[in-house]
Amino acid sequence: MKMTGAQAIIECLKKEDVQVVFGYPGGSVLTLYDALYMSGFPHVLPRHEQGAIHAADGYARATGKVGVCMATSGPGATNLITGIATAYMDSIPLVLITGQVAVSFLGRDSFQEADIRGITTPITKHNYLVRDVRDLPKIVKEAFYIARTGRPGPVLIDIPKNIFAEEIDFEYPAEVNLRGYTPICEGDSQTMNAVFDELKFAKKPLFFIGGGLNLSDTSEIMQKIIAYTGVPTVSSLMGLGCISSDDPHFFGMIGMHGTYAGNMSTTETDLLIGIGVRFDDRVTGRLDQFASNAKIVHFDIDPAEINKNVRANIRVIGDLRWTLEKFYQKLQEKPAKEWQDQFKPWLEKLSGWKKEKPLTYKKDTDEILPQPVIEKICEITEGNAVIVTDVGQNQMWTAQFYGFKHPRSLLTSGGLGTMGYGLPASMGAQVGKPNKKVICICGDGGFMMNCQELMTIADLNLPVKVMILNNQSLGMVAQWQREFYNSHYAHSCMRTKADFVEIARAMGVPAVRLDKKEEIEAVLKKAIFSEGPFLVDIRIPEEEDVLPMVPTGAGLNQMILGG
Amino acid sequence: MKHTLVVLVENKPGVLTHVSGLISRRNFNIESINAGYTEEADMSRITIEVDADDEYELEQVVNQLSKLIDVIKIIDLTGKDRVHRDLALIKVKASPENRAEIVNLAEIFRAHIVDVNKETMIIELTGEDVKIDAICELLDDYGIIEIVRTGKIAICRGPKAAKDL
C-alpha cells in the first residue's frame, strides 16, 4: 500500500497494538502530527516534553506495555533526555520517536538540529537515525522488539523531516532478524541443581528480590517459591509489592533506608539469592561488608549484571519466567515441610528482629508527620492504589510505610533518582489504568520541577490525587546536611510566598491545605474519594528525617535507627 | 593483564563510536582500538586491546559490549595461537652522513624506507609492538620527528576464522 513515512509510522503503531502516544509537536514533526490528526490516533499532549516521556514511562510501568513518546527535533528531543536516562536505569520499555532536520540539512548546525542519536547513545538500549524511508517499517518493528524483549529498555528512532513526507510501498515485516541480538530466554537447567544443593545445606538463606520480578510479571511464582520453602525474603526499592508486605516471610526493603530486620539478615545470611536485582550501591552499602558471610546466587536475564557489583558464586542466567519455574520444579524434590523446618529457626530470628526494631516514628507530637500520613493513605486505599512517588524523603517514607501488596503498585525512579518524575508519571499511569486509584506522593521540591503537568491532568480530567509532603525544603538534601555537613543548609530551604493550593486551582485542579493533625483522615478521604483530580498540600515539619539510615561507606548493620 | 579482543560488528555508521564510547563510559582502560572492513561486506572487525585488572573486569568488558545490538560476536584471542601486528611510519632526522647507518638499521628490522629527502627519512615497519618499540629506541639517537602507529590487529593461526571460534 502506498503511503507517506508519517502514515507508515501510524500503521506501525497500530500493528504494535499501541493504544496511545504521549508527545509534543514542533516544526520537524508537523507531517507526523498531520497524519495523527487525520487518523485520529489517541495522543496525550503534556506541557513539557519531559512530562511526555515520564508519562510514557509511568504508563509502561503501570501496564507492562511499551510506552511511546514523540517530540520534535533539537530542544524537543533534548528535553527527553532525563526521561530516557530514567527509563534506561530502571529497564523500562519505551519507543521514542524524535523529529530531525531534513537529511539535506544534517550536520550543518541547522535550526533545531541536535545529534540526538549521539547524545542518547549511552542511555538507550539502541537507537536509529532513519536515512531512507524504505527502512522505516523495519526499524520501527525492530525498535519495539528490542524495547520489550530481553532486559527491556528505551529505544530511540530519529527521523528527518523529509522522511515523514516521502512515499513508500508499506509492508510491515513479520519477523525481526538481528544477528547481534538474541535475547536470552531459557538458561541452563544444570544451574538449578547447584542452587538446590546450596539451599539444602544452608542454615540462613535469604531471597533478595528486585524490579526484575515486576518487569517479568513473575511475582506469583516467586510467592509460591517463598511459601513452599519458608525462606525469608527482602526486597530492593524496585521489588516492593512483588511480595505482599503482610506476608510473614517478608521483611521489607534493605539498603540505605532499609528495615533493621532486612539489613541485619543481609549481614548474617549464609546464602543470599538475588532475583532480578542489580546490587545497586544504595542497596549494598559498603561492598566488602555486604552479605560477607554468604554465598551469593544471582538470577538475572542480563549476563552483564552478574559480577558487576557483587561477585556471584552461582549465576542463573535467563528470563525469570523460565528460571523461576524451573527452580520451583526443582525445589519439589524435597517436601515443603522439610524445607520449612530447616529454615524455621532463622525465620524466627528475623521475626524477632522485626518485632524488636520495627519501622517507627514519634507518636507524641501535634505536628503532621509524613509517616502516619502515608499509613493513612494505605489504610484508606486498602493498599490497592497505584502509588507513584517523586524522589527523596517522600519516596523513602512511601517505600517504608505504604504496605504494598501488588506488583506494579509502586512506580518510582529507582536507579536515576529523578526529581520531577512523580507528577507526570502518575498522569501516564492513570491513562494506562483508568479504573485504578492513582496517587502521586511527592515533596515540594520535586513537585515544582514538573508542576506544569497539573494542567494536563486537569484538561484530561484524570483522577490523579497529588499529595505534597511539604516541608518547605529539599528534605533529603537537608537531612544529609544535618547529618554530614554540620547543619549547613546550603540552598536547601524553599520557604516561599507562593501557595500550592492556589497554583493547583489556577491550573484547574481542586486543592486544599492540610495543616491540622486532627483533619488528616477527613482531608485524605475527601481527596481520595473525589471524582476528578485533587491536590493536598500537606504541611510537615522541616526537620523530620528518614530513618533508619546507613551512612555512605558503612556496612548495612551500621544503621542510625529512628523512633 | 592485557587482552586482545576481536569484536565483529555490523558495518554501519556510528558503530565504532558506540563501542569505544561504551568502553570509556564503563571506566575500562583501553590500550588500542582498530577498525576495518572484513571478508564480509556487511561486517566490520574491531580489534581492542584492553587492560583488565582481573578476570571479572574482563568479563564485564565482554558482557557489556555484547549488549550492543550491533555487536555480532566477541572473541578473546588472548592465549590463543595468533599473529598480531602493528604498522608504524617513523619520520627520523637523516643527514647525508648517517643515512647509511639508518638504512642498515632498517634492514636489520626488515623495515622499508618509503621516503628520503635531504634531512629526513620515513621508515615503514610492521611487526609486533615490541619490535616497533625496539627500532624506535634505536632511531631516537638520530632524532625522531614523528611516529604514527595503527595499534594492534590480530588473527588466529589455523584454518578457522575468528567468527567460527
**Residues A436-470: pLDDT tens digits?**
999 999 999 999 999 999 999 999 999 999 999 99
To the query of whether residue A112 is one of the catalytic residues in this protein, the response is yes
Residues contacting residue A335 through CB under 8 Å, at least 6 positions apart: none
> Which whole number is the average pLDDT over A408-428?
98
- Contacting residues of B for A129, CB less than 8 Å apart: 14
Across the interface, of A121, A129, A306, the residue whose CB is closest to B18 is A121
> Nearest by CB to A126, which of B17, B66, B69?
B69
- CA distance, residue A271 to nearest chain B CA (Å): 21
Is A549 part of the annotated catalytic residue set? no
Q: Is the pLDDT of residue A317 over 80?
A: yes
Three-class SS state of A435: coil
Distance of CA A254 to the CA centre of its chain: 17
Three-state DSSP at A141 gives helix
Question: CA-CA distance, B110 to B149, in Å (whole number)?
Answer: 17
CB A475 within 8 A of CB A547: no
Contact between A101 and A161 under an 8 Å Cβ cutoff? The reply is: yes
Grid coordinates belonging to B62: 565482554
pLDDT bin (cut points 50, 70, 90) of residue A293 is very high
Query: Which stretch of DSSP H or E encloses residue A440?
Result: strand A438-443
Tell me, what amino acid is at B140? D
pLDDT digits (tens, 9 = 90+) for B2-34: 999 999 999 998 899 999 999 988 888 888 999
Indicate yes or no: CB of A302 within 8 angstroms of CB of B67. Answer: yes
What's the CA gap between A402 and A373, in Å, rounded?
9
Beta bridge pairs of residue A521: none
Shortest Cα distance, chain B CAs vs residue A179, angstroms:
6
Q: How far is Cα B96 from Cα A465, in angstroms, rounded to an integer?
A: 88
In the numeric block, which cell numbers belong to residue A332? 519439589
Mean pLDDT of A272-289: 96
Distance (Å, whole) CA A291 – CA A193? 22
Is B71 close to A304, i.e. CB distance below 8 A? Answer: no
Cis check for the bond before A548: say yes or no (omega within 30 of 0): yes
Task: Output the DSSP codes for A76-103.
Answer: HHHTTHHHHHHHHHTT--EEEEEEE--G
- DSSP summary character for residue A350: H
Torsion-angle region of A70 (φ positive above 0: left; ψ -120 to 50: alpha; else: beta) = beta
A126 and B69 Cβ atoms separated by less than 8 Å: yes
The answer to whether the CB of A548 falls within 8 A of the CB of A260 is yes
Angstrom CA distances, A91 to A125, A279, A301, A302, B132, stand at 9, 14, 12, 11, 46
Look at residue A563 and tell me whether its pLDDT is greater than 70: no
Contact state of B60 with A121 under an 8 Å Cβ cutoff? no
pLDDT, tens only, A485-539? 999 999 999 999 999 999 999 999 999 999 999 999 999 999 999 999 999 999 9
- Residue A213 — φ and ψ, nearest 5°? -70, -40
Task: Give pLDDT, residue A108.
Answer: 96
Q: What percent of chain A has pLDDT over 70?
A: 100
Q: Rounded distance, CA A280 to CA A287, Å?
A: 10
What pLDDT does residue B154 have? Answer: 94
- Cell 540505605 belongs to residue: A256
Its pTM surpasses 0.90: yes
Share of chain A above pLDDT 90, in %: 98
Decide if A308 touches B, using CB distance below 8 A: yes
Structural Rg of chain B based on CA atoms: 19
pLDDT given at position A513: 98
CA distance B66 to chain A (A): 8
Distance, in Å, from the CA atom of A251 to the CA atom of A275, rounded to the nearest integer, reads: 16
pLDDT at B126: 96
How far, in whole angstroms, is CA A238 from its chain's centroid?
A: 6
Pairs of residues, one from chain A and one from chain B, whose beta carbons lie less than 8 Å apart? 41
Closest to A405 (Cα-Cα) out of A434, A379, A371 = A379
CB atoms < 10 A from the CB of A51, how many? Answer: 28
Rounded mean pLDDT, A140-157: 98
* pLDDT greater than 90 at residue A226: yes
Residue A10 makes CB contacts below 8 A (sequence gap 6+) with A35, A36, A39, A41
Q: By a Cβ cutoff of 8 Å, what residues of chain B touch chain A?
A: 9-10, 14, 17-18, 21-22, 25, 56, 59-60, 63-64, 66-73
List chain A residues with CB under 8 Å of B72. Answer: 179-180
Nearest CA in chain B to A184: B67
- Chain Cα centroid distance, residue B102: 25
Of B21, B25, B69, the CB nearest to A181: B69
The per-residue pLDDT for B21 is 92
- A34-62 residue pLDDT tens: 999 999 999 999 999 999 999 999 999 99
Backbone angles phi, psi at A315, to 5 degrees: -105, 130
DSSP code, position A369: -
Region A352-381: what's the mean pLDDT? 96
* C-beta atoms surrounding B13 within 10 Å: 9
Query: Could you report the predicted ipTM of this complex, rounded to two decimals?
Result: 0.92
pLDDT, mean of residues A365-385:
97
Q: Binning pLDDT at 50, 70 and 90, where does residue B157 land?
A: very high
The one catalytic residue among A16, A49, A142, A453: A49
Residues 6+ away with beta carbon under 8 Å from A108:
none
Backbone angles phi, psi at B156, to 5 degrees: -80, 145
pLDDT digits (tens, 9 = 90+) for A335-366: 999 999 999 999 999 999 999 999 999 999 99
A residues 180..239 contacting B (CB < 8 A) = 180-181
Q: Residues of A with CB below 8 A from B55's CB?
A: none
**B68–A178 C-beta distance less than 8 A:** no
Give the confidence band of B165 by pLDDT, cuts at 50, 70, 90.
confident
State the burial class of residue A538 (Cβ atoms within 10 Å of its Cβ: 0-12, 13-18, 19+): buried
For residue A362 the three cell numbers come to: 514519634
What is the pLDDT, as a whole number, of residue A519? 97
Q: Indicate whether A562 pLDDT > 80.
A: no
Average pLDDT over chain B, rounded to an integer:
93
Q: Which amino acid is at B65?
A: L
Chain B positions touching A146 (Cβ under 8 A) are 69
Q: Is A476 a catalytic site residue? A: yes
CA distance A120 to A249: 42
Do A122 and B56 count as a contact with CB atoms less than 8 A apart?
Answer: no
* Among B63, B65, B73, B75, the residue to mutate for chain A (most A Cβ within 10 A): B63
Are the beta carbons of A180 and B60 separated by less than 8 Å? no
Q: Which residue has the cell 652522513?
A: B97
CB contact under 8 Å between B72 and A117, yes or no, is no
Query: pLDDT at residue B79 above 90?
Result: no
Q: Do A180 and B70 touch (CB under 8 A)?
A: yes
Model confidence at A552: pLDDT above 90: no
Contact of A308 with A332, CB cutoff 8 Å:
no
For A76-113, the pLDDT digits (tens) are: 999 999 999 999 999 999 999 999 999 999 999 999 99
Question: Residue B28 has what pLDDT?
Answer: 87
Q: Among A151, A98, A157, A152, which Cα is nearest to A127's? A: A157
CA dist A297 and A278 (Å) reads 12
Instruction: Write the DSSP string, A352-364.
Output: HHHHHS------S
CB atoms within 10 A of CB A485: 13
